[in-house]
Amino acid sequence: MGSLSIGGFGYRFDELIEYFSSHYGKGAYHAQVLFQQLYSEGNASVSQKKEYRLSENLARLVEQDFQVSLPRIDRFPDIEGTLKFTLLLEDSLLTESVLIPMSEWETLCLSSQVGCGRGCSFCETGAMGLRRDLKTEEIVAQWAAARFTIGRNPRNIVFMGMGEPFDNFDQVMRSVDIFSDQRGAGIPKRRISISTSGHVEGIRRLSELEGRFPERAYRTLHLAVSLNASNDRIRNELMPINRIWPMAELKSALKDSPQFGVKDALYFEYVLIPGVNDKNEHAEELVKWMDGLTAKVNLIPYHPVDAFPWSAADDSTVDRFHHILRNSGIECRTRKSRGKGIQAACGMLGKNASGVKL
């Protein structure tokens, strides 16, 4: 089943029921046992479950068809407790994810692609280009690697690793449905964040999904928009996607999104790059552009990487920018970058994953 025997992680519960019906002539009763086993124990061992004791042949088929064998997992810890995982995929490419410790829980940062095709000028992942989209089971396998390494479920999931999630819309949203199913991983959508570089088509598709399936509560997802500029001129230079969907079109799509007006559902990520987007006028321009949007701002001080010419953002500049936003009534915080020493901080994933052949 699927790549490296992780195909079972690619099914929503309703799809698993359909599989059981078409392949075994069984239904939700037996499918739910497998679904729970996959996400609680990381395996398909159902033969000892009471629901299967009278169906030895079925148990044998299920265990054979849904055998779990995770990809090779390498772990890279840093001194702050951040843990980067690399998973070797069937085509010898690598995907990376990061487990970030908080005060009382962990946040898991997932990749949606190997590499990224959006080419943001400050991002090492973008510099490697796009290798391919990840399959649903490859996204969920990143969760499984973390879950069964630390022995507990991460509290939050953020799609802020490699890739533009909305360029792989269908697989990302299927994985969101899988993560949030209370019969499985049980991570509510309100604890799942999707970061986008400003993919207007993806935002509109999310709005359509909410309209078609209101019971799935996509409106409770957090949407984090990587903005990084206060005007189109700067954003065109930093983020080529802005030449497709400029800031006015992005703002319009956000106003129509299911996250608009929902408390704590919409965020803007703003990487402060010295001499590029960190002046007082940029902060004031950002305040003006955000008028009419109920959203928070996460300021991220730029950290230097070899591939790009900029120096680190200094604390006084970050504090000044933060002060202007706060005094204008915008709720914001300065986000501390984690995992720089293991190439796991914002924009650094993929340095060791680009086309690696082992």
pLDDT of residue 80: 79
Q: Which fold has domain 73-342?
A: TIM Barrel (3.20.20)
pLDDT of residue 4: 56
Nearest to 39 by CA among 4, 1, 13: 13
Domain with CATH 3.20.20.70 in the chain: 73-342
pLDDT of residue 3: 44
Query: DSSP letters along 95-149, please?
Result: EEEEEEE-SSSEEEE--SEEE-SS--TT-HHHHT-EEEEPPHHHHHHHHHHHHHH
pLDDT of residue 349: 54
Backbone torsions φ then ψ of 56, nearest 5 degrees:
-60, -40
pLDDT of residue 306: 79
Q: What is the pLDDT of residues 245-262, one digit of tens each?
A: 999 999 999 999 999 989
Contact, 312 vs 304, CB < 8 A? yes
Instruction: Look up tokens 């005094």; give the residue.
Output: 327
pLDDT of residue 81: 84
> In the chain, which residues have pLDDT < 50?
1-3, 339, 341-345, 354-358
pLDDT of residue 336: 73
Task: Give me the active site residues, please.
Answer: 346
Model pTM score: 0.91
Backbone torsions φ then ψ of 35, nearest 5 degrees:
-55, -45
Contact, 53 vs 202, CB < 8 A? no
What is d(CA 98, CA 155) in angstroms, rounded to the nearest whole number? Answer: 13
What is d(CA 146, CA 75) in angstroms, rounded to the nearest whole number? Answer: 10
Rg of the chain taking only CA atoms, in angstroms: 21
First to last CA, the chain: 23
